Amino acid sequence: MKINSDIIDTIKKSKCIALFCHTKPDGDALGSSCAMKYVLEKIGKECDIYCESKIPEHYCYISNYKCIKQTNDKNKKYDLAIALDCSDKKRMGECAKLFDKIPFSIKIDHHKTNEQFANLNQVEIVSSTCEVLYYVINQLGVELDDNIATCLYIGLASDTGCFMHDNTTSNTHEIASKLLEYNIDINKIHYYEFKRRTRAQLELLHICLGNLSFALDDKVAFIHLKLTDFEKTGAEQSDTLGFVNYISNVDTTKVAVMLSEEKPNLFAVSFRTNGTVDVSKIAETFGGGGHKMAAGAKIFGGITTVKKKITDVCKDFV
């Protein structure tokens, strides 16, 4: 993979760098951000990570995750902003305001649907942002260590569904193989990323699956959660991660949809598919985006209204 030499030169010349990942971060967003922080500090840069969302507790196995900031440190003057795993600026939430104040910016990403919002944009349609970052690190001339390798592996494993999605390539496996030469606790990573559940999550999942419904001759499956469901269980928005996968493998279903109410009548929508539909195109009609197999958007309205909006769009795809 060829990395823009201007990106490498800009990083080397910068002294104080702010990193940004998207709201409700997943393993790739956090893995790439935390890996980059280790890399930059290794070459003598000052570096902070910003994310609007509170970081889910199950990412405690990432050794430097607690350093991620939700609000701007006004005493810091950054000369470079780097957005990681952000397909568009809106995904940074309120942190986009700080991003815009910094004099120069870089974006490193892998999403098919993409907004070229930085001064320099490195976007490659591969498994994960961590796969792109692996080559950035190589061209920066920084040697991997246990911490960097762990963070990169988290991103690869997360966005490939533990190497089961069709975005997994021979190159992805080659990189994972090189990362595993370092001291990585893959049992811990796989447990926290794919297996661990809290009681609150299970209670929330019970409610969510109880709201199962179908449309278009069972080709579209829906599950949903309302704000009252989070209050009832004591769960958080981040606890819904992976819920949509429970309905994505129904044999008749081509599009699986999870609706999670974030604010009154504002739903975060996750789309998944078995591969027969490009759900990024569905998400784009609502101002969202993502990948062929997994995408997302935010839609205003009540449950019935939002389901109808999605069903009407899906008619052209299923």
**DSSP calls for the chain:** -PPPHHHHHHHHH-SEEEEE--SS--HHHHHHHHHHHHHHHHTT-EEEEE-SSPPPGGGTTSTTGGG-BSS--TT---SEEEEES-SSGGGGGGGHHHHHHSS-EEEEE--SS----SSEEEE--SS-HHHHHHHHHHHHTPPP-HHHHHHHHHHHHHHTTTTTSTT--HHHHHHHHHHTTS---HHHHHIIIII---HHHHHHHHHHHHT-EEETTTTEEEEEE-HHHHHHHT--GGGGTTTTHHHHT-TT-SEEEEEEEEETTEEEEEEEESSSS-HHHHHHTTT-EE-SSEEEEEEES-HHHHHHHHHHHHTTT-
pTM of the full structure:
0.88
Question: Which tens digit of pLDDT belongs to each residue from 228-241?
Answer: 999 999 999 989 98
In this prediction, the residues of the chain whose per-residue pLDDT falls under 70 are: none
Which domains does the chain show, CATH number per domain? 5-195 (3.90.1640.10), 199-314 (3.10.310.30)
What is the pLDDT, as a whole number, of residue 60? 79
What is the pLDDT, as a whole number, of residue 305? 97
What is the pLDDT, as a whole number, of residue 55? 85
